[in-house]
Amino acid sequence: MVEPSYQHGLLATKYQRDYFTDGSLKAETLPDKRYKLPIAVRLNYFPDDHFIIRTFYRYYMDNWGIRAHTAELEIPVKLNSFFSVSPFYRYNNQQGTRYFAAYGQHNPSAQYFTSDYDLSTLSSNFFGAGIRLAPPKGVFGWQHLNALELRYGHYNRSTGLVSNIVTLNIKVK
């Protein structure tokens, strides 16, 4: 998969303030053009009727200097014909934009600047599991409710961001 994109316009978050080494502050300022190029591959392997090995890798680059690698592994285990458990893990490593600096570290003469940690150098881990129920006669015997999936994930980023995510997916036909 190759998904190039181009953005043009206001790409900075103007309500976000950046602090400089001289104690001054200004609204975030970033270039008004951005080229992005993510390149990804997804490979799935079916070793038998009960396991699927799903893999994903993506390389990302843009003209702001961000470079990132993402790798993901998910192994759904089919316990019977309508119930499965899916553990997963995703790792991301990102080289941040040249415009990023932490609080109070920007040079006052810089043309572009941000303190948004989403644009910084970072690494992250996301792991968890899901359970999926898809009986042939519908969930709880309701024919129109085809599948029910509940997923939990724990996200941890080197910048200090930590979160727990619970997702409920309901398939209605």
pLDDT string in tens for the chain (173-residue length) = 999 999 999 999 999 999 999 999 999 999 999 999 999 999 999 999 899 999 999 999 999 999 999 999 999 999 988 899 999 999 999 999 999 999 999 999 999 999 999 999 999 999 999 999 887 777 777 778 888 899 999 999 999 999 999 999 988 88
Half-sphere exposure of 11 (CA within 13 A, CB side): 16
Q: Count of alpha carbons within 13 Å of 32, Cβ hemisphere only? A: 3
Per-residue CA distances from 16 to 75, 77, 105, 120 (Å): 40, 45, 15, 15
Look up the pTM and report it. 0.86
Beta-bridge partners for 140: none
